[in-house]
Structure 1
């Protein structure tokens, strides 16, 4: 798998799946634009990539601010691959969900990828090539108590994936999504502990057909597949990288 000569912008790439994706893309030859709120973490990811001979730069962004999103798009310039990975995961029963948390999740998980894509896509369309990968979640399909807002935003992102594929496809721009299952990231492990308590990680792992949680690198490999030419005839698809959780 190669991304030599390509430029990739990955949101939320200072930790977890996004960080692994940035490192994998750089290894595959891409120039990676790392983005997130935490400058220290972002700088550390860039330094790690450059230490191994890769090319990367960091652009700070506040995803709830449309002006900051426009600035990110301007700083990124013409990119070949956009990965809408950043997200927040509010956890609360519907009857206890506060409006601020709801609005923040919609702003980060749905509005931000919408308007960032709207800003990035025109240059892809002009070049008649490009790949956009949206990171969804198995909770868009599998009902989990306490995840009402998060799952709704991810389901909406999957819907946008199909719509954008229809809109951009005639210009040669592909749009797909990855729907990860339970993945061993700091965010997920914290949520599991909060919702399921002690033993929750083992309980969640046991729900998959492989009996374990994913490592972030395993999800990054699927994202790389969708970003590159190996998936050249794939658009409008949602790939379930969930060890069969949504299949059985």
Structure 2
């Protein structure tokens, strides 16, 4: 167990699986008291057990971030209660990704994706950042996506929400940074959670061809970046989108 987040408190949304779970576990391993949040109580209990078995501190707060301001405020309030009255680090990770083309996307799906991916973190940040500032400071980390800046033929709806999140990151850095609240984002590449012993190629592998790394990443890669952004080591980092994407958006490997 490290100590880069010793005595800090953290709320990680959508942390019952995949990237969110890896971030919650990494925060706890670095000494933070973490609130694991999500809709599935059983999976939440499993994450809590893993963290506590490893010697960390964690509590589960069930929440369905449907985009309403009330749901976001309620989560902030209950998370503060579980963490002893304050939230030092907020990770806006929860999101949904329905694939599909623009013409095949109906209005109900459009509204739902924007509600979960944009409205929920917007109102959660609104409920958390001022209290962070009043307490002396804090850190907010948003999850973007590589397809916010590199277009692909499907997923226009999802990529547009992540573009909004990355824009909000810069706007919030300007708004809350002078109050002592650092706001940054992580833009993951194709991330795959593999089952133990699984060796079958993942469909996402093709999207990482031609990159420096040449393959998909793991949730731990994102968690390492989140720990750094949440720690004092990143104290001079504001309004930045950190690409953790194997070079997908920044470099092309051309084979001759």
TM-score by length of 2: 0.90
- The reply on whether 1:148 has 2:156 as its aligned counterpart is yes
Whether the 8 Å contact between 2:208 and 2:248 is mirrored in structure 1 is no
Q: Which runs of 4+ in 1 moved over 6 A?
A: none
Aligned residue runs from structure 1 range 84-233, under 5 A = 84-185=92-193, 200-233=203-236
**CA–CA distance in structure 2, aligned partners of residues 162 and 145 of structure 1:** 27
Which range is displaced more, 62-71 or 113-122?
Answer: 62-71
RMSD of aligned C-alpha atoms?
1.3
TM-score by length of 1: 0.92
Which range is displaced more, 233-242 or 121-130?
Answer: 121-130
**CA–CA distance in structure 2, aligned partners of residues 199 and 171 of structure 1:** 44
**SS of the residue 1:166 aligns to:** helix
**CA–CA distance in structure 2, aligned partners of residues 13 and 245 of structure 1:** 25
Paired position in structure 2 for 1:33: 35
**CA–CA distance in structure 1, aligned partners of residues 102 and 31 of structure 2:** 44
Structure 1: state its 5+ residue gaps.
Answer: 187-197
Paired position in structure 2 for 1:73: 76
Deviation at 1:171, TM superposition (A): 1.1
**CA–CA distance in structure 1, aligned partners of residues 71 and 177 of structure 2:** 28
Paired position in structure 1 for 2:197: none
Structure 2: state its 5+ residue gaps.
Answer: 81-85, 195-200, 252-256
**CA–CA distance in structure 1, aligned partners of residues 146 and 103 of structure 2:** 22
Deviation at 1:52, TM superposition (A): 1.1
Whether the 8 Å contact between 2:19 and 2:223 is mirrored in structure 1 is yes
Deviation at 1:122, TM superposition (A): 1.1
**CA–CA distance in structure 2, aligned partners of residues 90 and 33 of structure 1:** 27
Deviation at 1:199, TM superposition (A): 6.9
**SS of the residue 2:60 aligns to:** strand
